[in-house]
């Protein structure tokens, strides 16, 4: 099954005089185990593309198919279930729940995917351990460093073994060591779990884990980039 397939997708953001065509006629296929970088300047449509792939935004035209589900034909409930079971999301600032510990943030995703509570806890602990933050499992996000927080966010995105991982600027706020660790985690997820990983980024350091490097300019998907937008 193909994790992500987009055909002739368009999406406009805003209304009237403020309307901007954020994504124009994009066709993209990402296979299992593949890591794809989406690079482009701010406002180029990277985040909109991720939101379309996650089923958080609906395409104005074209089709988006995730793990065999055509999102334009799916109900809101079906799209939510898809995100619970087949999609992992990594946000730029982590997006972790501040009242939950690192472990519980990861557990939450596993439980949303339907895993039993005890099993979810075990999986969360194993994953946090493998990402080098096992010793911080009981801490809350605000007690973690930026790198630790992002690794917990990556653990949350991977714990339910999704077919598709969508990461938005996962290394933007990290130093080189932490950034490398997070990149390594995502690459490992692609190779070991067979997940398709799409990363929206400005960060050249991620090029070394990418199978494909796509440029996005004014909503148009282009050829591999030659320069950094960092």
Partner 1 sequence: MRAFPLILRAVAEPPARALCTTGGIAGSALLVLVLLASHRSLSTAARTYVSQPGVQLWVAPLGTDNVVRSSALLAEGMPDSVAAIPGIIAADPIVRGFVTVEPQTVEGAVGVQLTLLGIGSIPGRAGGIPPTALRLGRAPQRRGEVALDRAAAFRLHVGVGDSVLANGRSFRVVGLTSGTNLLATQFAFFDLASARKSLGLPDRVSFLALSLDAGAEAGEVARTIEERFDAVAVHTQERFLANNVREVSAGVLPIIAVIAALGMVVAAILVLLLVQGTVEEQRRELAALRAIGVGGSMSAALMLRAALLALIGVGAGGAASLGLARLLDRVLPTVLLSPLPVDLLRTSVAFVAVAVLASLLPLARLRRMDPLEAFRQ
Closest distance of CB 89 from partner 1, Å:
6
Per CB under 8 A, the segment of 30-38, 97-105, 178-186, 215-223 that binds partner 1 is 97-105
107 is an interface residue for partner 1 by CB under 8 A: yes
DSSP 30-67: E-TT-EEEEE--TTSSHHHHHHHHHTSS--SEEEEEET
The nearest distance, CB 101 to partner 1, in angstroms, is 10
User: Nearest-CA neighbor of 6 among 225, 146, 189, 216?
Assistant: 216
Sheet containing 69-70: which strands, arranged edge to edge? 20-30, 4-13, 61-66, 69-70
Please, are residues 230 and 204 in contact by the beta-carbon 8 Å criterion?
yes
Given candidates 30, 38, 39, 47, which one binds partner 1 under the rule CB under 8 A?
47
**Residue 200, H or E segment:** strand 196-201
Our CB check for partner 1 shows the closer of 93 and 211 to be: 93
Q: Which is nearer to partner 1, 52 or 187 (CB)?
A: 52
User: Any bridge partners for residue 43, and if so which?
Assistant: none
| Residue 67 binds partner 1 (CB under 8 A) | no
Per CB under 8 A, does 111 bind partner 1?
yes
Residues that bind partner 1 (CB under 8 A): 47-48, 50-51, 54, 56-57, 77, 80-81, 83-84, 89, 91-93, 95-100, 104, 107-109, 111-112, 114, 116-117, 156, 168-169, 172
């Amino acid at each position: 099954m193909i994790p992500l397939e987009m055909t002739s997708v368009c999406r406009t953001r805003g209304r009237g005089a403020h309307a901007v065509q954020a994504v124009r006629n994009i066709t993209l296929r990402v296979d299992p185990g593949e890591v794809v970088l989406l690079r482009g300047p701010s406002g180029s449509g990277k985040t909109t593309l991720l939101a379309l792939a996650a089923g958080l935004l609906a395409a104005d035209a074209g089709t988006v198919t995730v793990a065999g589900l055509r999102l334009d034909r799916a109900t809101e409930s079906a799209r939510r279930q898809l995100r619970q079971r087949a999609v992992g999301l990594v946000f730029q600032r982590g997006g972790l729940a501040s009242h939950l510990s690192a472990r519980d943030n990861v557990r939450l995703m596993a439980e949303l995917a339907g895993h039993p509570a005890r099993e979810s806890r075990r999986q969360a602990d194993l994953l946090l351990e493998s990402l080098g933050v096992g010793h911080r499992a009981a801490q809350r996000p605000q007690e973690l460093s930026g790198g630790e927080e992002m690794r917990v966010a990556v653990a949350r995105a991977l714990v339910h073994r999704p077919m598709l991982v969508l990461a938005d600027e996962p290394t933007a706020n990290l130093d080189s060591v932490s950034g490398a660790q997070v990149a390594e985690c995502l690459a490992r997820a692609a190779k070991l779990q067979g997940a398709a990983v799409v990363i929206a980024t400005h960060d050249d350091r991620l090029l070394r884990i990418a199978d494909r490097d796509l440029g996005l300019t004014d909503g148009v998907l282009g050829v591999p980039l030659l320069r950094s937008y960092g």
